Amino acid sequence: MSLTPMGFRPPDGPGSDTSGRKVTTATLREQKLRHEPITCLTAYDYATARLVDEAGIDMVLVGDSLAQAVLGYENTLSVTMDEMLHHVKAVRRGVKRALLVADMPYGSYHLDPTRALDNATRFVKEGGAEVVKIEGGEKRADLIRRIIDAEIPVAGHIGLTPQSVNVMGGYKVQGKDLSGIEQLMRDAVALDRAGVACMVLEGIPREVAAMITAEVSTPTIGIGAGPDCDGQVLVFHDIMNLTFAPPAKFVRRYADGAALFSNAVRAFSADVKSLQYPADEESYHLPRETKAGLENVLARKRAMGR
C-alpha cells in the first residue's frame, strides 16, 4: 500500500453525472417513465466500485459473476454467501451515489424461504446493499413477495439465468420459440406483479425484450437482450477485456485492460531488474541536520579505524 491518502474524491469527469443525487429504486421508475436509459455495471471491490460510481453509473451490481471474474471458479454455482458478502461490503465502501444491488448466490434462496429471507437480510444489514437480485420468474414470485414484505427491494432476473446452467444444458439464448416467449412473458408479468424494483433480461431476442419492456411498468435492464430495454448492464471485466476468453456477441469492449496491466507489470519488472526503479526522487531522504550528524558519526568511526 502506498502512503497516499485514499479518501480524496476528484471532481466529476466527462460523461459522469454531476447532479450528485442518490439513485434509489424510485429513480429507476422515473427514468423508465422519462425514457432515460439506466446504466448498470458490476463491481466486486472498493477501487472498481469508486471508479464506476464516480463515473456516474446508476446501478452497481455485485454480481455472482464474482465467481468467474474474480475468484476463478468455473461458473457461478460455487460462490458462497460469505464470499459474496465479503465483496458487497468492499463495494459498499466505494459507492456513494449509485444504487447498490447484491446478487443472491446459488443455494442462498433455493432451499427454504426463511433461509432466503435471512440471507437477503444479511446483504442489507451486514453488506449495506439496497436491493437483492434473484434469478427466476413465475416460480420465484412468492419468495420475492416475502422478501419485499420484509422491506427489501428485489431485482428480478429472467431469460438466460446462469444459475440454471445445468438445467438449460448450457448458456443458451432463451425465448426463441413461441412457447419460450410465452413463458418469458409469464415470468415478466409475475415479477411485475410481485413488485420488483427492476428486472434483468438476459440472453433473449431483441424482439422479446422489447415486448416485455413495453408490457411491464418495472424498469427492464438488458444484457444480451438488445437496445429496447430501459437500461443495460454489463460485467466490468467483460468491457475491460479482463476475462481471458473471447467475448460473447453482446459484449462491447471499451478498453484493453489485459494489455494495459500486463504492459505495466512488465515495465515495472524490467525497471527493477535494470536498476531503473526506484530513482532518487522516488526515495525518502534524511533531514539535512540528521544527515550531517550521521556523516560526522561515520567519519569518526572511520578515523578510529572501526
For residue 70, the tally of other CB atoms under 10 A from its CB is 18
Min. distance of Cβ 221 from ligand KIV in angstroms? 8
CB atoms within 10 A of CB 222: 29
Of 60-68, 90-98, 176-184, 283-291, which segment contacts ligand KIV by CB under 6 A?
60-68
Long-range contacts of 293-302 (CB under 8 A, 24+ apart): none
Among 70, 95, 223, 240, binds ligand KIV (CB under 6 A): 223
Listed ranges 58-66, 94-102, 137-145, 148-156: which one lies at the site for ligand KIV (CB under 6 A) = 58-66
CB nearer to ligand KIV: give 132 or 194: 132
Comparing CB distances to ligand KIV, the nearer of 14 and 88 is: 88
> Does position 132 bind ligand KIV by CB under 6 A?
no
Q: Which is nearer to ligand KIV, 65 or 119 (CB)?
A: 65
Based on CB atoms, which residue is closest to ligand KIV, 52 or 233?
Answer: 233
Rule CB under 6 A: choose which of 25, 48, 65, 241 binds ligand KIV.
Answer: 65
Contacts with 8 (C-beta within 8 Å, 6 or more apart), sequence order: none
Q: Which stretch binds ligand KIV (CB under 6 A): 22-30, 62-70, 277-285, 295-303?
A: 62-70
Give the nearest distance from C-beta 232 to ligand KIV in angstroms: 10
70 binds ligand KIV (CB under 6 A): no
Q: Is residue 218 near ligand KIV by the rule CB under 6 A? A: no
**Nearest to ligand KIV of 12, 110 (CB atom):** 110
Contact 155, 132 (CB under 8 A): yes
Peptide bond into 205 cis (omega under 30): no
The single residue among 53, 54, 58, 103 that binds ligand KIV, judged by CB under 6 A, is 103
Check: CB of residue 201 under 8 Å from CB of residue 222: yes
Catalytic residue IDs: 202
Applying CB under 6 A, the residues found at the interface with ligand KIV are 42, 61, 63-65, 103, 200, 202, 223, 233, 235
